[in-house]
Homo-oligomer: A and B are copies of this chain.
Amino acid sequence: MDATLAALADPTRRKVIDLLREGPRPAGELAQAVQMSAPALSRHLRVLRAGGLVRAEAGGADARLRLYTLRQEPFAALQAWLDQVQAFWAEQLGSFKDHVERRQ
């Protein structure tokens, strides 16, 4: 949970996540997409790997390429925590909820 949110805190890493939503991509292609040097992005990918958000698999044809793919678990865990937090409002159905909505 800590590693997950720390990884997602960086805009570059979130952009990588968004790029990987469209399918697995090699590291170099990601670096080009975020306008950043390969070493810089490599460390971002390291953070994402450490948090378990992505996984690197060997590219079939060219063994030099490392194809990165999204992993499911951390996102599911984060969503579970979010559901717990949002229960705060679900449980408040009476005057307090009205109060909150008025204030917003």
Q: Which residues of A contact B (CB under 8 A)?
A: 1-2, 5-6, 8-9, 11, 14, 17-18, 20-21, 55, 57, 69-73, 75-76, 78-79, 82, 84-89, 100, 103-104
Contact = CB atoms under 8 A, between A and B. Distances in A.
A18 B73 CA distance: 21
Contacts of A11: 2
Contacts of A21: 84-85, 87-88
Tally of this chain's copies: 2
Contact of A82 (B1, B71, B73, B78): B78
Contacts of A20: 88
Contacts of A70: 85, 88-89
Nearest to A11: B2
A82 B85 contact: no
